[in-house]
Amino acid sequence: MAGRLSHLVTADSGLSITVPHADLDEASFPLRRQVVNDVLALRDARMYLWYEKDTHSLETVDGVFGGLKDRTDRGVPFRAGTEPAATPSKGRPSYGEALP
């Protein structure tokens, strides 16, 4: 994700970008500063965070949610409620495939 965002910044992209990120807490978010800086540098980008252990962030983002997020909700922001934010996946679904 970080590399793609940096590429969009370098390309001066005008695309509408929404970045959802879920983690245990803010300290567990790898490359957090790079990702947030890139989102802030893009003209039409939003970022939403879900932290399993926190409900706040020191970062300037569009939303911070505590607890769990529901991967079956295709809208952003996702609803809190059904899945631990930092659950490791056992494989990636292909584009358009329903998530477990």
For 47, the enclosing helix (H) or strand (E) is: strand 45-51
Query: What is the pTM (predicted TM-score) of this model?
Result: 0.68
Q: Which pLDDT band holds residue 25 (cuts at 50, 70, 90)? A: very high
Q: Which amino acid, one-letter code, is at 9?
A: V
Quick check: 79 and 69 in contact, CB under 8 A?
Answer: yes
Q: Which amino acid, one-letter code, is at 63?
A: G
Quick check: 17 and 42 in contact, CB under 8 A?
Answer: yes
60-76 tens-digit pLDDT: 898 888 877 665 555 55
**What's the mean per-residue pLDDT of the chain?**
76
**Rounded Cα gap, residues 70 and 83, in angstroms:** 6
- State the residue for tokens 């706040």: 56
Q: Could you tell me the two tokens for 96?
A: 């358009």
